[in-house]
Amino acid sequence: MRIAIIGAGFSGSVIARELAERGYEIELFESRPHLAGNCHTARDPETGVMLHVYGPHIFHTSNEQVWAYIQKFGAFMPFINRVKAHAKGRVYSLPVNLMTINQLFGKQLSPATAREFIASLGDKSITDPQTFEEQALRFVGREIYEAFFRGYTRKQWGVEPSALPASILKRLPVRFDYDDNYYTSKYQGIPVKGYTAIIERMLDHPGIKIHLATAFTRARAQDFGHVFYSGPIDSWFDYAEGQLGYRTLDFKLSRHNGDYQGNAVINYCDEDVPWTRIAEHKHFAPWEQHEKTIISREHSRLCGKDDTPYYPLRLVNDKALLERYVARARAEQGVTFVGRLGTYRYLDMHVTIEEALNTARVFVDTADGDGKMPAFCVDPLA
Ligand code: UDP
């Protein structure tokens, strides 16, 4: 059976590989001129540094199966993301940990006394926090919220933190020890040759035919036994219900001699600084040596129709729209919607891979998409 896969990010590439290995004939359509979606990496010709073209991607997972799987397609080097923050004229350690708390309040607290102190700052009148702001005020109090979260979040999302779901803040831990690893996952690393090399290896299979710089139109779906679509769900339906809200990013690149900021990522939490963070890409590959350096300043803004969608907004009106698109998708025959854009969810790479492996398994188990393959293997509305 011929299968069309739209999009060569992790979702599309994992499904392509898994189904090709089971004997399916895969045609992969990618509208961009390169593989790997927003994980795409490329050497900057001027500095020789491996550039994370669509912003920093640090691979982390606690899922043994996902970690073993990704390493089949290329070697990883250990990398721990230790983010710093510029806030109110000082430099702090992130995520909020014992160092940050002691720095911000000028104290020498122990884990136990810090826990008590932060609990005393939390707003206990908030019993069931629903929004980003309520979650922050409840658990860390106003000082930490205003120093690190309020300004950054307003810049990043373009709306008041009181309009955002608490789930966004729940991505970040608050620690009462000196652990400054940004992630809590068991495994963390960066591919030695970059993400695009990983995807190239994944797609290097005789059963997979790749069409780069090729948009797929809905009308072509009938030529295939099944379609896996990892593009924006609203775009599949020609925005018939309206446009789902996304944030896009502009990266302002500049090159310098030596070491620009001494770290891979520095967040800028104050609202009067227009960018949210600066990434210095050579620090994502500390095993390499480069005399020059390239940095990217990230500026967030509302995504227009011709911009690259990054972060799904999922505000109240987006959720209502999404419900209508999901209903349309469920009525569609022979198409499965996958990944961040296909299901309109904020997904990390490891979750995307896990879900893609599962989707391929469901397809094989439902016997070749005999009509029983669902439009979604995860519920986008959950
Ligand atoms: N955030 C913040 N201040 C920071 C870092 C993060 O307020 O210094 C908030 C912000 O709303 C952000 C969210 O926490 O969108 C999740 O942060 P994360 O670093 O996971 O974002 P990503 O790396 O996915 O852009």
Residue 358 clears pLDDT 60, i.e. is over it: yes
Q: What mean pLDDT is reported for the chain? A: 96
CB burial class (10 A; 0-12, 13-18, 19+) of residue 222?
Answer: exposed
**Whole-prediction pTM:** 0.97
Does ligand 1 lie within 6 Å of residue 148's CB atom? yes
Res. 114 pLDDT band, cuts 50 70 90:
very high
- Nearest residue by C-alpha to atom 10 in ligand 1: 153
Res. 202 pLDDT band, cuts 50 70 90:
very high
Question: What's the CATH number for 92-169?
Answer: 1.10.3110
Does ligand 1 lie within 6 Å of residue 347's CB atom? no
Q: Where are the domains of the chain?
A: 2-35+203-242+309-368, 92-169, 246-302
Mean pLDDT throughout 258-271?
A: 98
The whole-angstrom separation of Cα 192 and Cα 50 is 10
Residue 369 clears pLDDT 70, i.e. is over it: no
The whole-angstrom separation of Cα 56 and Cα 51 is 9
- Nearest residue by C-alpha to atom 20 in ligand 1: 171
The whole-angstrom separation of Cα 231 and Cα 335 is 12
Asked if the bond preceding 78 is cis, omega within 30° of 0, the reply is no
Residue 7 corresponds to which amino acid? G
Question: What confidence score (pLDDT) does residue 305 get?
Answer: 87
Instruction: State the maximum Cα–Cα separation within the chain, in Å, rounded to a whole number.
Output: 67
The whole-angstrom separation of Cα 78 and Cα 187 is 8
State the DSSP H helix or E strand holding residue 291, giving kind and residue range, or none if neither. none
State what percent of residues in the chain have pLDDT above 70. Answer: 99
Q: Domain 2-35+203-242+309-368 - what CATH class? A: alpha beta
Is residue 83 within 8 Å of residue 74, measured between CB atoms? no
Question: In three state form, how does the secondary structure of 237-264 look?
Answer: CCCCCCCCCEEEEEEEEEEEECCCCCCC
pLDDT digits (tens, 9 = 90+) for 153-192: 999 999 999 999 999 999 899 999 999 999 999 999 999 9
Please tell me whether residue 189 adopts helix, strand or coil conformation: strand
> Would strands 265-268 and 84-87 be described as parallel, antiparallel, or unpaired?
parallel
pLDDT digits (tens, 9 = 90+) for 287-302: 999 999 999 999 999 9
Residues in the chain: 382
Residue 371 clears pLDDT 70, i.e. is over it: no
pLDDT digits (tens, 9 = 90+) for 207-235: 999 999 999 999 999 999 999 999 999 99
Expressed in angstroms and rounded, the spacing between residue 170 Cα and the centre of ligand 1 is: 10
The whole-angstrom separation of Cα 335 and Cα 325 is 13
The whole-angstrom separation of Cα 296 and Cα 55 is 8
Res. 370 pLDDT band, cuts 50 70 90:
low
Does ligand 1 lie within 6 Å of residue 121's CB atom? no
Positions marked catalytic: 171, 175, 247, 277, 298, 346, 348
The whole-angstrom separation of Cα 89 and Cα 369 is 58
State what percent of residues in the chain have pLDDT above 90. Answer: 97
Question: What confidence score (pLDDT) does residue 41 get?
Answer: 98
Res. 1 pLDDT band, cuts 50 70 90:
confident
Mean pLDDT throughout 24-53?
A: 98
Please tell me whether residue 43 adopts helix, strand or coil conformation: strand
Residue 368 clears pLDDT 70, i.e. is over it: no
Cβ-Cβ contacts under 8 Å for 38 (sequence gap 6 or more) = 9, 54, 55, 57, 308, 310
The whole-angstrom separation of Cα 273 and Cα 296 is 15
Residue 5 clears pLDDT 90, i.e. is over it: yes
Res. 70 pLDDT band, cuts 50 70 90:
very high
- Nearest residue by C-alpha to atom 11 in ligand 1: 153
